[in-house]
Amino acid sequence: MSSNKLTIDIDTHGLISDLQKLIKIPSVSARKQNLEECAKEIVVMMKRIESTQS
C-alpha cells in the first residue's frame, strides 16, 4: 500500500508577521476605511510570496 504525503513548507514567522501588519490597519469592514491601504499591503505580501516560489 502506498502513502501519498503532501509536504508544505510554511514560514510561520513570516505568516505571523504578515497577519500582524494586516491587523494593525484600522478597521476595513466596519466603516469601509483603509481599503486601499489594506489592498496594497496584500499585494506586497503576494509579490513576496510569488518571488520565493521560483
Asked if residues 46 and 34 have their Cβ atoms less than 8 Å apart, the reply is no
Segment 41-47 mean pLDDT: 91
> What pLDDT shows up at residue 2?
59
Distance CA 43, CA 25 (A): 14
> What pLDDT shows up at residue 26?
80
User: Which is it for the CA torsion 27, 32, 36, 38, positive or negative?
Assistant: positive
More confident residue, 11 or 38: 38
What is the extent of the structural domain holding 33?
14-52
Per DSSP, the residues of 39-54 read HHHHHHHHHHHHHH--
Give the pLDDT band (50/70/90) at residue 3: low
More confident residue, 50 or 32: 50
Question: Could you give the number of structural domains in the chain?
Answer: 1
Does a structural domain hold residue 19? yes
Does a structural domain hold residue 8? no
pLDDT at 15 exceeding the cut of 90: no
Does a structural domain hold residue 7? no
